[in-house]
Homo-oligomer: A and B are copies of this chain.
Amino acid sequence: MLPDIPEVVVERLPVYARALPQLASHGREVVSSQDLGEQLGVTPAQIRKDLSYFGRFGKQGRGYNIRRLVEELRQILGLEREWTVVLIGVGHLGKAILHYGGFAPQGFHVIAAFDNDPETIGQEIAGLCVQDVGELPPTLAGRTVEIGIVAVPAAQAQGIIDLLVSCGVQAILNYAPIAAHVPAGVHVRHIDPVLALQSMTFYVKDSDQPVR
């Protein structure tokens, strides 16, 4: 097994895995931490430190072999496999998620979508027929679904997350604006545009909008 990797490091590895092939597409075989850092707006020291958790990818002063580094990162992150995903909540956001073309090419396949609204249940969206959320447990029984995407209102989100966990889902992507609780061994990531905006307003100055 790998040593204990800080979660912030694990969160940065996919960024590296995505940026490297773009550098390779310019005909390069080797990249320095300097070049990769410039591309991503992070320091070379951070890149070297992050990658050092996984052994010596590069030699001092020689840079990283791009193809080998991408392969290793994809292996470490489990990106060489297919992953099965269910979506709960098919409002405006859930519909946008179903229509998003970025998941499948990366190996994330939404195989079922659920809602509790009678008008939404039965609709076909992006090739999937929306099911009643009551059908979630029987649909997941006996098959491996690793990932749940939660796009329900805040008040319902923790209950849905608990339901997914009880069905064996190990990873939750939560779009609801709550700090979700999951048991040990289950992982959760939050997508929260309001928090992202609030972490930028700290920096924005010299504006003449009224104080409320």
Contact = CB atoms under 8 A, between A and B. Distances in A.
Interface in A1-53: 8, 10-11, 13-15, 17-19, 39-41
A199 B81 contact: no
Interface stretch (A63-71, A92-100, A115-123, A130-138): A92-100
Contacts of A95: 92, 96
Interface residues of A, number: 66
B209 A81 contact: yes
B179 A79 contact: no
Nearest to A98: B92
Taking the full assembly, how many copies of this chain does it contain? 2
A78 to B, nearest CB: 4
A212 interface: yes
Nearest to A211: B81
A83 interface: yes
A204 B78 contact: yes
B187 A173 contact: no
A195 to B, nearest CB: 5
Contacts of A209: 81-84, 144, 146
B92 A99 contact: yes
B146 A207 contact: yes
Given A79-B198, A106-B194, 12 more contacts: A10-B199, A15-B179, A18-B195, A77-B199, A79-B201, A80-B211, A81-B210, A83-B204, A144-B208, A173-B193, A173-B197, A191-B196
22 contacts: A8-B8, A14-B194, A14-B195, A77-B199, A79-B201, A81-B201, A82-B209, A83-B209, A91-B96, A93-B96, A102-B177, A106-B194, A106-B198, A144-B207, A144-B209, A147-B197, A147-B204, A170-B207, A171-B201, A173-B200, A187-B204, A191-B191
The 10 closest A-B pairs by CB, nearest first: A14-B198, A78-B201, A92-B96, A189-B196, A171-B200, A96-B96, A92-B99, A11-B199, A93-B96, A187-B200
